[in-house]
Amino acid sequence: ASHNLSFEQRLSMIRNKVGRRLLEIVLKKQSNLAVAADVTTSQELLSIASQVGPHICVLKTHVDIIEDWNETVCEQLVHLAKSHQFLIFEDRKFADIGNTVELQFTGGIFHISQWADIVNAHIIAGPGTIQALRKASEHCGILLLAQMSSKGNLAVEEYTQKAIQFAKQYEDAVFGFISMGCIGEPNFIYFTPGVKLEKGGDSLGQQYTDPKTVIGIQKSDIAIVGRGIIHASDRKEAALTYQKACWDAYVQRIGK
């Protein structure tokens, strides 16, 4: 499936309000860049959020790798998200039965449902996972993992199609996918991880694609960049470089 509509044209097609808010931010900041802040201290997380904040539409977190997470850190992160206008995407990849997922989403020490704008879920356990997330918070938009970037992953073919089917069934809450490009209709938003200007991978199966290929050829919407920015000597400058590369690829694709 492939379309050539602009973000402006797609705004009114998105049923979930977090999805619409995301496109508003993307358009306003001219940024379809998400940064993956895979760091282990709250100080690093907050400093990344303020360094790259102006250049991103989404900050993607893995809160369970932060060793000193607490409520104050959470408040500071939410504050940075408001002042720089980006959404917080907790990459929790919920995958259990609905009842357990509801507890994982709302409880524990992270209380993800209280601060995350976006969360994602595997479809392996069936629609109960999605039902639990949408029941627990209407303020949080959901992405389904339809494909993955890592070598040998099993999210292919019928599995990918099943994710699309689930998304259509819960379109009020699910506004997009983790996928390697556009795999469906323009009323969903496509997020792609494994993005880096230098092609290649890492020693644990990650596979990188460059922004031009991901946004321009594979027609994804939002590029998720981690180590390409996090490991740069100047993260702010790197974020600006990626912002431009991702936005230029989008503008070229749309043909404006």
Could you list the active site residues?
91, 93, 96
Q: Hey, which bits of the chain come out as E strands?
A: 33-36, 58-61, 87-94, 118-121, 141-145, 174-178, 189-192, 200-201, 207-208, 222-225
Compose the 52-71 pattern: x for residues touching ligand 5FU by CB under 6 A, - for all others.
----------x---------
Q: Are 145 and 163 in contact (CB under 8 A)?
A: yes
Closer by beta carbon to ligand 5FU, 199 or else 227: 227
Contacts (CB under 6 A) with ligand 5FU, residues 170-189? 178
Nearer to ligand 5FU (CB atom), residue 61 or residue 113: 61
Residue 123 found at the interface with ligand 5FU (CB under 6 A): no
The residue to which tokens 């790798």 are assigned: 65
| Residue 117 among known ligand-binding residues | no
Rounded to the nearest angstrom, the gap between the alpha carbon of residue 23 and the centroid of all alpha carbons in its chain is 13
Least distance CB 216 / ligand 5FU (angstroms): 19
- Nearest in space to 160 (alpha carbons), one of 175, 148, 174: 148
Question: How far apart are the C-alpha atoms of 4 and 17, rounded to whole Å?
Answer: 22
As a whole number of angstroms, the distance between CA 191 and CA 249 comes to: 15
Q: Which of 76, 131, 150, 218 binds ligand 5FU (CB under 6 A)?
A: 150
Contact 140, 132 (CB under 8 A): no
Nearer to ligand 5FU, 36 or 123 (CB): 36
Per rule CB under 6 A, is residue 206 in the interface with ligand 5FU?
yes
Any idea what the Cα angle at residue 191 is, between residues 148 and 114, rounded to 5°?
A: 105
Among 119, 145, 174, 223, binds ligand 5FU (CB under 6 A): 145
Binding site for ligand 5FU (CB under 6 A): 36, 38, 62, 91, 145, 148-150, 178, 193-194, 206, 224-228
Annotated binding site for substrate: 38, 60, 149, 206, 226-227
